[in-house]
């Protein structure tokens, strides 16, 4: 879970970090990824092939939807922070509606592309879960390299520091923003595709990942990708520990309140001293 959480949260962190946009529709992009994965897997007869197709197609589609939303809506708002939040709430309603209308209100399961069970001496471990962890790790590594090493990453970081200066240096800020927004959403979609075989796809499923992603991003310090990763790991691990002591609902209450208090008393995040 921690790995998938990190993926989704990094997507959110990216949009906030570069664009200063709090994307409330992030959970719905996640949901869209999961729902599309189900559609793709249904369309492709062979199970492993369908899954691979979903893993490639869904992020692309979701990314495209996000880019469209960015140019059609967010750009017109001039990225005013409060207006964009209201707008992304609107987008999330519409995405939910889309999924509800075309996909129906039922939860659908997607079968894992393989069902290998690793048998350790003391406990069994689903091979698919292990695959998810490794895959998510690889994607995260790719994002990390992309941000730190590639030219596009450099451009994005430059835009993050100062939009106007970036523009003065001939960077097409509009394209960077659309790209960032798309990348952030695509990461959520990757996370979703990976998770569907474990959790079922449902039009309201975006809710929990959004909240969890918020938690991770806020604890990690908004916009700090390293902080987000650490926070995701911590939460993912402690999730298991907390739920041993509390019921899931109580655990969620505690986590939600804790995050709100972090935001009140340590707005730079627990690890985000230097973002």
Which residues here bind another protein, judged by CB under 8 A?
22, 73, 76-77, 81-83, 85-87, 89-94, 96-98, 100-101, 211, 214, 218, 247, 249-250, 252-253, 256-257, 259-261, 263-265, 267
Q: How many CB atoms lie within 10 A of CB 32?
A: 28
Token couple for 181? 């927004």
Alpha-carbon span 233 to 257, nearest angstrom: 19
Q: How far is CA 44 from CA 24, 38, 40, 48, 197, in A?
A: 32, 10, 6, 9, 16
Name every residue whose Cβ is closer than 8 Å to that of residue 157 and which is 6 or more positions away in sequence: 18, 147
Q: Which is nearer to another protein, 55 or 216 (CB)?
A: 216
**CB closer to another protein, 54 vs 262:** 262
Q: Are 143 and 10 in contact (CB under 8 A)?
A: yes
Contact 30, 190 (CB under 8 A): no
Taking the least distance from each CB to another protein, the nearer of 151 and 274 is: 274
Q: What stretches of the chain show up as alpha helix (H) in DSSP?
A: 2-19, 26-43, 47-69, 81-103, 127-149, 151-161, 163-168, 173-195, 207-220, 225-245, 248-265
Quick one: 168 or 264, whose CB is closer to another protein? 264
If the CB atoms of residues 148 and 238 are measured against another protein, the closer one turns out to be 238
Beta carbon of residue 119, minimum distance to another protein (angstroms, whole number): 38
> Which C-beta is closer to another protein: that of 90 or that of 153?
90
Q: CB 83 → another protein: shortest distance, Å? A: 5
CB 56 within 8 A of CB 33: no
- Joined tokens for residue 212: 């969890």
Q: Tell me if 161 sits within 8 A of 154, measured CB to CB.
A: no
Q: How many CB atoms lie within 10 A of CB 91?
A: 22
Rounded to the nearest whole angstrom, what is the least distance from the CB of residue 272 to another protein in the complex? 13
Q: How far is the CB of 266 from another protein (least distance, A)?
A: 11
Measured from the CB of residue 81, what is the shortest distance to another protein in angstroms?
A: 5
* Minimum CB–partner distance for residue 30 and another protein (Å): 16
**Of residues 156, 137, 160, the one with CA closest to residue 222:** 160
Question: Considering beta carbons, is residue 96 or 160 the nearer one to another protein?
Answer: 96
Minimal distance in Å, beta carbon 192 to another protein? 20
């Amino acid at each position: 879970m921690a790995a998938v959480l990190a993926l989704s949260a990094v997507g959110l962190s990216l949009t906030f970090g570069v664009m200063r946009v709090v994307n409330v529709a992030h959970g719905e992009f996640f949901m869209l990824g999961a729902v599309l994965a189900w559609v793709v897997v249904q369309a492709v007869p062979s199970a492993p092939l369908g899954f691979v197709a979903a893993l490639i197609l869904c992020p692309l589609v979701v990314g495209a939807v996000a880019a469209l939303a960015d140019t059609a809506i967010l750009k017109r708002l001039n990225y005013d922070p409060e207006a964009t939040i209201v707008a992304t709430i609107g987008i999330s309603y519409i995405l939910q509606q889309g999924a509800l209308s075309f996909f129906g209100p039922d939860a659908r399961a997607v079968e894992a592309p393989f069902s290998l069970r690793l048998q350790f001496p003391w406990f069994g471990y689903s091979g698919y879960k292990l695959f998810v962890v490794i895959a998510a790790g690889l994607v995260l590594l790719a994002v990390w390299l992309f941000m730190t090493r590639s030219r596009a990453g450099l451009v994005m970081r430059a835009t993050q520091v100062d939009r106007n200066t970036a523009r003065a240096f001939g960077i097409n800020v509009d394209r960077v923003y659309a790209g960032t927004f798309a990348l952030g959403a695509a990461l959520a979609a990757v996370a979703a595709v990976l998770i569907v075989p474990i959790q079922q796809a449902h039009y309201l499923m975006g809710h929990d990942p959004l909240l969890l992603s918020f938690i991770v991003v806020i604890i990690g310090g908004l916009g700090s990708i390293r902080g987000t990763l650490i926070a995701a790991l911590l939460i993912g691990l402690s999730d298991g520990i907390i739920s041993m002591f509390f019921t899931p609902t109580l655990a969620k209450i505690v986590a939600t309140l804790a995050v709100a208090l972090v935001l009140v008393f340590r707005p730079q995040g627990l690890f985000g001293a230097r973002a």
